[in-house]
C-alpha cells in the first residue's frame, strides 16, 4: 500500500479519545456541552478535540468545518427535542388538552421546543443564524423531521397546502420568536439589588422613552410556557377558522 492510502494505525488511534471511540453523536455532545458551559465564542475544533482527548484533525470526518459544527449543534437540539417528545415530555397546557388531537400535539411540540431551547440558551442564536444560512434541503434530517411533523398536524387540522404553508410560517415564527424574546439580554448589572439600576433604566432618557422605562421590569420577567400557549392558541384559532 502506498503512503497515504487508507488510514494508518496512528490515525485510527487518533479516532479514539480518552473516553473511547469517536462518533458523530459524541462529537456533537461534546460541542454542545462546551457551548452550554462557555458560550459560542469558545467553540473551535481544537477545544472540542481537547474535550474529547483527541487532536482537532480527528474531528473532521464527523464535522468537516466550523460551519458544519455549528449546524451540528442545531441538529443536537432537534435530536434532543425528538427524544423529549418520544419519551412523553411536555404535556399540553390545560386549554389545549381538551381540544382536537392535532391542536394538542402542536402545543406539546411548542412546549417541548421551549423547554429544550431554555436548557441550552447559548445555542439558541444558531436557530436563527444557521436557518438563514442553510437552504432547506441541506438542513439536518432531525430539523426536517420536525418540519414534517408540524405540517402533518396542520394537514390533520383540515388546512389545504396554501393554508398549511401560511400556518407553518406563523407557528414557527411564534415559537422561535417567543423563545428569542424570553432569552434576550435585559439585566445591565446583575450585582445591583435595586431593580431599576439592575436593569440600567438610568441609562434610558426618561422623556424620550417613558413607556419603555415603565414596562421594562415586566418585560424582564419570563412569560413562561403559559405565555407561549396563550399566543399559540390565538394563532391556531385564526387558522382553524379558515380550515376547509
CATH code, 33: 1.10.10.60
Instruction: Report if residue 4 sits inside a domain.
Output: no
d(CA 7, CA 99): 57
Mean pLDDT of 161-169: 96
- Residue 13: what pLDDT? 37
CATH number at residue 208: 1.10.357.10
The mean predicted confidence, pLDDT, of the chain is: 88
Query: For residue 12, what pLDDT band results from cuts at 50, 70 and 90?
Result: very low
Single out the residue of 39, 159, 175, 63 nearest to residue 111, CA to CA.
Answer: 175
Instruction: Report if residue 5 sits inside a domain.
Output: no
Same domain, 153 and 98: yes
Query: Helices in the chain by DSSP H: which ranges?
Result: 9-14, 24-38, 45-52, 66-86, 94-97, 101-119, 125-133, 141-156, 161-183, 195-199, 210-219, 224-242
**For 121-156, what is each residue's pLDDT tens digit?**
999 999 999 999 999 999 999 999 999 999 999 999
Query: Which residue among 64, 92, 109 closes a domain?
Result: 64
Instruction: Report if residue 3 sits inside a domain.
Output: no
Instruction: Report if residue 2 sits inside a domain.
Output: no
Full residue range of the structural domain in which residue 137 is found: 70-242
Mean pLDDT of 44-72: 93
159 contact partners, CB below 8 Å, separation of at least 6:
167, 239, 242, 243, 244
What is the percentage of the chain residues whose pLDDT exceeds 90?
Answer: 80
CA distances (Å), origin 121, targets 115, 183, 196, 207, 216: 10, 7, 25, 34, 21
- What DSSP character marks residue 21? E
Same domain, 76 and 44: no
Same domain, 21 and 126: no
Query: For residue 92, what pLDDT band results from cuts at 50, 70 and 90?
Result: low
Q: Look at residue 208 and give its three-state secondary structure.
A: coil
Cell reading at 186: 435585559
Same domain, 133 and 52: no
Q: How many domains does the chain have?
A: 2
**For 75-84, what is each residue's pLDDT tens digit?**
999 999 999 9
Instruction: Report if residue 223 sits inside a domain.
Output: yes
Same domain, 19 and 132: no
166 contact partners, CB below 8 Å, separation of at least 6:
239
Same domain, 74 and 58: no
- What DSSP character marks residue 206? T
Same domain, 26 and 141: no
- What DSSP character marks residue 6? S
Query: Which residue among 18, 34, 64 closes a domain?
Result: 64
Same domain, 115 and 152: yes
Same domain, 25 and 80: no
Q: Look at residue 140 and give its three-state secondary structure.
A: coil
- Counted residue by residue, the chain has a size of 244
- The enclosing H or E element of 16 equals strand 16-17
Same domain, 164 and 51: no
b/e burial code for range 145-157 (CB count within 10 A of at least 16 → b)? ebeeebbebbeeb
For residue 240, pLDDT over 90 is answered with no
Same domain, 95 and 189: yes
Instruction: Report if residue 1 sits inside a domain.
Output: no
61 contact partners, CB below 8 Å, separation of at least 6:
15
Mean pLDDT of 93-114: 84
- Pairing type for strands 16-17 and 20-21 reads antiparallel
Same domain, 59 and 163: no
**pTM of the complete model:** 0.84
Strand partners, 21: 16
Amino acid at each position: 500500500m502506498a503512503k497515504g492510502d487508507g488510514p494508518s494505525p496512528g490515525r485510527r488511534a487518533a479516532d479514539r479519545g480518552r473516553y473511547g471511540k469517536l462518533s458523530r453523536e459524541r462529537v456533537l455532545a461534546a460541542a454542545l456541552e462546551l457551548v452550554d458551559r462557555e458560550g459560542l465564542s469558545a467553540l473551535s475544533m481544537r477545544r472540542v478535540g481537547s474535550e474529547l482527548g483527541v487532536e482537532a484533525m480527528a474531528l473532521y470526518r464527523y464535522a468537516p468545518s466550523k460551519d458544519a459544527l455549528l449546524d451540528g449543534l442545531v441538529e443536537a437540539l432537534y435530536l434532543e427535542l425528538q427524544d423529549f417528545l418520544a419519551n412523553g415530555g411536555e404535556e399540553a397546557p390545560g386549554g389545549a388538552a381538551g381540544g382536537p388531537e392535532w391542536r394538542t400535539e402542536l402545543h406539546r411540540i411548542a412546549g417541548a421546543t421551549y423547554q429544550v431551547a431554555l436548557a441550552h440558551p447559548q445555542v439558541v442564536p444558531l436557530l436563527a443564524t444557521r436557518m438563514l444560512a442553510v437552504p432547506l434541503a441541506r438542513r439536518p434530517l432531525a430539523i426536517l423531521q420536525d418540519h414534517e411533523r408540524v405540517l402533518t398536524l396542520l394537514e390533520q387540522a383540515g388546512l389545504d397546502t396554501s393554508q398549511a404553508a401560511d400556518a407553518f410560517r406563523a407557528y414557527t415564527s411564534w415559537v422561535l420568536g417567543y423563545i428569542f424574546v424570553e432569552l434576550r439580554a435585559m439585566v445591565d448589572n446583575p450585582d445591583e439589588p435595586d431593580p431599576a439600576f439592575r436593569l440600567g433604566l438610568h441609562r434610558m432618557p426618561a422623556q424620550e422613552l417613558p413607556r419603555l422605562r415603565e414596562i421594562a421590569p415586566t418585560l424582564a420577567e419570563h412569560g413562561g410556557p403559559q405565555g407561549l400557549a396563550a399566543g399559540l392558541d390565538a394563532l391556531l384559532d385564526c387558522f382553524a377558522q379558515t380550515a376547509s
